[in-house]
Amino acid sequence: MSFRYSLAALIAAISMSAPVGAQAQTDLSTLSAEERSEQRLKDIVAALHGDKPYEDVFTDQFLQAVSPQRFALIFRQLSSQYGALNSMEVVETGPATGYARLAVHFEGGAGQGDLQLQPQAPYKVSGFRIGVLKPLGDTKEKLAADLAALHGDAGMLLTKIGSSEPFFAYHAERPFAVGSAFKLYVLAALSREIAAGKRRWDDVVPLEGKSFAGGTLYGWPEGSPLTLHTLAALMISISDNTATDILVRLLGRDALAAEVRLSGHSDPSSILPMMDTAEFFALKQQGEMAAQTYHAAGPVGRQAMLDRLDGKAAAQASQADLARIFGQAPTAIDTVEWFATPADIIRVLAQIAETEDPVALDILGINSSLPDEERARWRYAGYKGGSETGVLSLNWLLRDENGEWYSLAMSWNDPDAAVEETGFMMLANRALSLVGHTR
């Protein structure tokens, strides 16, 4: 469920400067490496405007990864946030054959990019990315306006941990469905029990009670021995639901409820009892009436409903069941969910930071979900996201070279429509640009 920033997809932005008109064929074998790269940039523009077939410009593997429709979507997102493209040019070629580094300038942002061509004729584009665009003249007011313009509802909090004045706050105290970001509470509770000597990271437990299809462990044999470290690493880095459910059952609802309260959650009754992911799926599968009943029941009534669920329903779900629950339309995201405000998420991230547990921090840092340019700014970067149709939650724990901790938590919900990851990640990059530290 975690999100990885897809930089390659940002090629849609080039179309902003394209002249419409037929493109003459060019023999790339007669050109220098730099001229060849510049010509392929022109060809990309032509393809985006329908003046050249995509298959004449890109390799088959590239087109399988990034469709023309995806280009158009990213183009709309970039143009809405950074304005028109002013220029894009080759600034360096090599050292790899067919590689070129690019300089990219929009009206409201600038950055670097990379182009990779096949090393031999016909020299099609095999790789293309635009890196993080640094906003030019961006303001907190513009960022807030763009969050407000999203369909549904969104919130964001960016702060130095321990500071009373955040860098940026927008609906920071509003509750949102956060999907798999609830797994931060599981990691925090596990780390607390290990610190107290109740458990060890190398304790071994059997694989029992799978969640719905997906993740690494779903396909493993029942009874496979797993360390707590392995389970936590899979839970955080790839959001493995079976790993999560094993830990939820091992820790128990009481320990998780205690962690929610210790973290300072603004409304513990909204998230308790802590469902595991199999229960989450089984409840959604029962339909809207059951979902509303669950939401209205309160912690005691919800526990009674969870106790009556079929524990194997999720593991036995068909692909049709999964498509119905996690398809194009949101399903019960305002009733059967894990709820937290951006401020709540930052509080649990702060607890993980304050324990200084190197293992827990290493696990949280397996997948930083930051582009390389942004990751390089921080001594440490940890991340946990959450997503399903209609739900996005992106959350970072960051440490600068001076040892100061920062956190960014942001959520976007729409009970009536899907929400889009890449554009929301662009807003995250703009927010992080508000932190002006350097390495």
Closest to 439 in 3D by CA, of 355, 392, 379, 367: 379
- Measured CA to CA, the distance from residue 252 to residue 435 in angstroms comes to 38
* Burial (0-12, 13-18, 19+ Cβ within 10 Å), 111: buried
Residue 9 pLDDT class (50, 70, 90 cuts): very low
The fold adopted by the segment(s) 140-432 is Beta-lactamase (3.40.710)
Q: What share of the chain is helix, strand, coil (3-state, %, to 5)?
A: 45, 20, 40
- Measured CA to CA, the distance from residue 259 to residue 351 in angstroms comes to 10
Residue 344 pLDDT class (50, 70, 90 cuts): very high
pLDDT tens digits, one per residue of 208-229? 999 999 999 999 999 999 999 9
List, as one string, the DSSP characters of 263-330. HT-S-GGGT-S---HHHHHHHHHT-HHHHHHHHHTHHHHHHHHHHTS-TTTTTT--HHHHHHHSSSS-
Q: Which CATH class is domain 7-135?
A: alpha beta
Three-state DSSP at 200 gives coil
Are residues 409 and 265 in contact, defined by beta-carbon separation less than 8 angstroms? no
List of residues 6+ apart from 385 with CB closer than 8 A: 1, 2, 3, 179, 180, 181, 239, 369, 392, 393, 394, 395
pTM of the model: 0.82
190-196-201-202 Cα dihedral, nearest 10 degrees: -140
Please determine, for residue 436, whether its predicted confidence score (pLDDT) is greater than 80: no
- Measured CA to CA, the distance from residue 276 to residue 299 in angstroms comes to 14
Mean pLDDT of 252-258: 97
Query: Where in the chain do CATH 3.40.710.10 domains reside?
Result: 140-432
Q: Which long-range contacts (CB under 8 A, 24 or more apart) does 326-329 make?
A: 326/388, 326/389, 327/389, 328/389, 328/418, 329/389, 329/390, 329/417, 329/418
User: Which of 2-16, 225-239, 372-386 has the least mean pLDDT?
Assistant: 2-16
The separation between the first and the last C-alpha atoms of the chain, rounded to the nearest angstrom, is 30
Are residues 45 and 14 in contact, defined by beta-carbon separation less than 8 angstroms? yes
pLDDT tens digits, one per residue of 131-185? 777 878 889 999 999 999 999 999 999 999 999 899 999 999 999 999 999 999 9
Query: Where in the chain do CATH 3.10.450 domains reside?
Result: 7-135
Are residues 413 and 177 in contact, defined by beta-carbon separation less than 8 angstroms? yes
More confident residue, 23 or 226: 226
Pair of tokens at residue 262: 């210790």
CA distances to 22, 61, 120 from 53, in Å: 11, 15, 20
Quote the pLDDT of residue 437.
52
Mean pLDDT of 66-73: 76
